[in-house]
Amino acid sequence: MEQDLTYCAPVPQPEPDLSILLIGLLKGVQYREQDERQWTALLNLQARVREYAAVLNLELMLDEAEGYAFLKGRPEPAADDPAPRLPRLIVRRPLSFPVSLLLALLRKKLAEFDAGGGDTRLVLSLDEIVELVRVFLQDGTNEVKLIDQIENTLNKVVELGFLKKLKVAGSAAGPSHYEVRRILKAFVDAQWLAEFDDRLATYQSALSGTVKGSSDD
């Protein structure tokens, strides 16, 4: 008696870790501290992640030492490059001057902190951040209004992922504290700081009155 045997090849199943990694990266920055298991999976599968990201015109930025990873849009082709211009999946957002100022000040503070060779986590209180910004504001600014403005800017920087607002221990509401996320180093490099320093110098000169208005004699 003959029996007809048909062989069915197994259908390859997608790797669940790869799908989870890609979805997480498309949502935002991934940190080692958030999930050690997922971070290990990312290190093991980073070649596959880079391959899939490239299809979307993205590249994986991974800093194993600092413990963060994110997806970044690939550079646009040169003007004389015949390669097609693909639409950007990750939209660039212009930063307001207060946000740019705070990012520059936090980046400098992080550089000074790292040079000290101490703890790896830079945590600043709201009062300390206010003092960082105060020197760039006009004298006589209302204190309550100043703190409100800085807190609004801080909230925007938290949304961007460069600061993490820490929970206050205990029931008594104390001053807010923020951890400077080390991913800030990947976005604010030495060239960006140098260019912003030039803008700050002009801004400070204007505040001190050394830049004359057109109505001056």
Range of the domain at 115: 97-208
Last residue of a domain, one of 67, 92, 117: 92
Give the position of tokens 């990873």: 69
Strand partners, 139: none
Give the position of tokens 């991934």: 30
pTM value?
Answer: 0.69
Q: Is residue 76 part of a domain?
A: yes
Strand partners, 62: 69
Identity of the residue numbered 10 = P
How many whole angstroms separate alpha carbon 119 and alpha carbon 106?
A: 16
Question: Any idea what the CATH number is for the domain that residue 142 is in?
Answer: 1.10.10.580
Last residue of a domain, one of 69, 92, 115: 92
pLDDT in tens, the chain (217 residues): 444 444 455 544 445 588 899 999 988 889 998 899 999 999 999 999 999 998 888 899 999 988 999 998 876 666 666 666 555 655 566 778 888 889 888 998 988 888 877 677 899 999 999 988 887 766 656 778 888 888 999 999 998 889 999 876 654 566 789 999 988 888 877 777 777 777 777 666 655 554 444 344 4
Q: Are 178 and 123 in contact (CB under 8 A)?
A: yes
Q: Is residue 217 part of a domain?
A: no
Q: For residue 88, what are its two tokens?
A: 């950007």
Task: Classify strands 177-180 and 122-125 as parallel, antiparallel or unpaired.
Answer: antiparallel
Q: Are 73 and 162 part of one and the same domain?
A: no
Total number of domains constituting the chain: 2
Q: Are 20 and 118 part of one and the same domain?
A: no
